[in-house]
Amino acid sequence: MVVVTGQNKVSGNPDDAMSSSDAEDDFQEPATPTATQAGQALPLLPQQFPEVVPLNVGGMYFTTRLSTLRRYEDTMLAAMFSGRHYIPTDSEGRYFIDRDGTYFGDILNFLRSGDLPPRERVRSVYKEAQYYSIGPLLDNLEDIQPLKGEKVRQAFLGLMPYYKDHLERIIEIAKLRAMQRKARFAKLKVCVFKEEMPITPYECPHFNSLRFERSESETKLFEHHCEVDVSFGPWEAVADVYDLLHCIVTDLSDRGITVDHQCIGVCDKHLINHYYCKRPIYEFKITWW
For the chain, give every residue range classified as CATH 3.30.710.10: 52-144
Average pLDDT of span 66-71: 97
Share of the chain above pLDDT 70, in %: 74
Quote the CA–CA distance of 38 and 21 in Å, as a whole number: 30
Q: In this predicted structure, what is the pLDDT of residue 252? A: 96
Question: Which comes out higher in pLDDT, residue 232 or 41?
Answer: 232
pTM over 0.85: no
Average pLDDT of span 152-172: 94
- Is-cis flag, bond preceding 117, omega within 30? no
Closest by Cα among 43, 50, 284 to 167: 284
Q: In this predicted structure, what is the pLDDT of residue 197? A: 56
Average pLDDT of span 224-240: 89
Q: In this predicted structure, what is the pLDDT of residue 278? A: 85
pLDDT, tens digit, 9 for 90 and up, residues 100-109: 999 999 999 9
Share of the chain above pLDDT 90, in %: 63
pLDDT surpassing 70 at residue 277: yes
Is the CB of residue 83 less than 8 Å from the CB of residue 49? yes
pLDDT, tens digit, 9 for 90 and up, residues 105-132: 999 999 999 999 999 999 999 999 999 9
CA dist list (Å): 57 to 140, 268, 274: 24, 60, 69
pLDDT, tens digit, 9 for 90 and up, residues 259-271: 999 999 999 887 7
Confidence of residue 43 (pLDDT cuts 50, 70, 90): low
pLDDT surpassing 50 at residue 79: yes
pLDDT surpassing 70 at residue 17: no
Q: In this predicted structure, what is the pLDDT of residue 178? A: 95
CATH of 52-144, one of 3.40.1190.20, 3.30.710.10, 3.90.1150.10, 1.10.1660.10: 3.30.710.10
Average pLDDT of span 51-80: 97
Average pLDDT of span 220-249: 87
Question: Which comes out higher in pLDDT, residue 276 or 44?
Answer: 276
Q: Give DSSP secondary structure letters for 69-117.
A: HTSSTTSHHHHHTSSSS---B-TTSPEEE-S--TTHHHHHHHHHH----
Average pLDDT of span 136-155: 94
Q: In this predicted structure, what is the pLDDT of residue 221? A: 52
Average pLDDT of span 169-186: 96
In which order are the strands placed within the sheet that holds 95-97?
Answer: 60-65, 52-57, 95-97
Cα 194–278–219 angle (5° rounding)?
80
Closest by Cα among 104, 124, 110 to 63: 104
